[in-house]
Amino acid sequence: MEITGHPIDERINMEKVIIVGSGPAGYTAALYAGRAGLEPLLFAGPEPGGQLMITTDVENYPGFPDGIMGPDVMDLFRKQAEKFGARIRQETVESADLSSGTFSVMANGVKHESRTVIVSTGASAKWIGLESEVTFGGYGVSACATCDGFFFRGKTVAVVGGGDTAMEEANYLTRHADKVYLIHRRDQFRASKIMQERVLANPKVEVFWNSRIDEITGEMEPRKKVTGVRLASTIDDTKSDLPLDGVFVAIGHHPNSDIFKNSLETDENGYIKVKPFSTETNVSGVFACGDVTDHKYRQAITAAGSGCMAAIDAERHLESLGA
């Protein structure tokens, strides 16, 4: 409901802070805003908990020397935010109006107004862009080994990519599959050394260097399934067929900034721009944190750190408004 003609303080359901997104950045912003007494309203979005929900062992989050499972650590994040009064809604924000000093977001067809907005919508998996990838999505093609690896017990699968995610997925899949091919378009990985070493030392992993997937082949009857890939050399375009039961795409992520693009400045890849050493966007009162702003570090700990910054920035902004 549009309410006009009222002084700002008389508006119904005017929030102090709305947080969009529920990864490490969003929950940390909610924790800090909650402790500051701002009673933040957080929309968890289509992937509650964010990317760590599809990660197995998190070995590099400080405070967990024995590692922790991704979903378990996100459960702790959520509980801690709720403990300090964050209100968490399992809803997706469909659109946002950040054009005036009072902001609004639409979720489940309901409008929510707020003095400040923290955008922490994260990033999502990228796909190669093949039609066959869509055809067999969920029928042997996946972007999440920890979600779907179990279905490939005793089978042969491929992982595409050369970054840390691809290394992690390939290693993880060897727990289930008998054979894991790692398909990479260049002759060296960009993954960290330790992750590369683990993969290269794993006897179940075989690397196809300088290779790309031109087609994912499969059957539609009697049951839709992947049967292999058509590979092409990135050096001389030589083609070859590789029989497989599954393909895991692990080629990076894109920022979930689409609903904010009309109002917030982004870089050429869609990452929301923030001022240096700050979470301030180009719109005063709107802050952004976590992977939706960060193409460089993209770690849970850096996302959490920037979520903390966003909450502090929002709190100071509200103070400056006298709120």
State the residue number with the nearest CB to ligand NAP: 163
CB of 43 to ligand NAP, least distance (A): 24
Nearer to ligand NAP, 170 or 272 (CB): 170
Nearer to ligand NAP, 34 or 307 (CB): 307
Applying CB under 6 A, the residues found at the interface with ligand NAP are 60, 128, 160-166, 168, 185-186, 190, 212, 251-253, 298
CB of 60 to ligand NAP, least distance (A): 6
Structure tokens, 213: 């997937």
> What is the pairing mode between strands 156-160 and 179-183?
parallel
Nearer to ligand NAP, 60 or 108 (CB): 60
Whether residue 144 lies in the annotated active site:
yes
Cis before residue 62, ω within 30 degrees of 0?
no
Report the greatest alpha carbon distance in the chain.
70
Whether residue 147 lies in the annotated active site:
yes
Query: Tokens 């990660």 identify what position?
Result: 55
Catalytic one of 57, 75, 97, 144? 144
CB of 160 to ligand NAP, least distance (A): 6
Nearer to ligand NAP, 133 or 315 (CB): 133
Distance CA 104, CA 20 (A): 11
* DSSP secondary structure of 83-123: HTT-EEE---EEEEE-SSSSEEEEETTEEEEEEEEEE---E
CB of 56 to ligand NAP, least distance (A): 10
Q: Would you call 77 helix, strand, or coil by DSSP? A: helix
Distance CA 311, CA 293 (A): 15
Which residues are part of the catalytic machinery? 144, 147-148
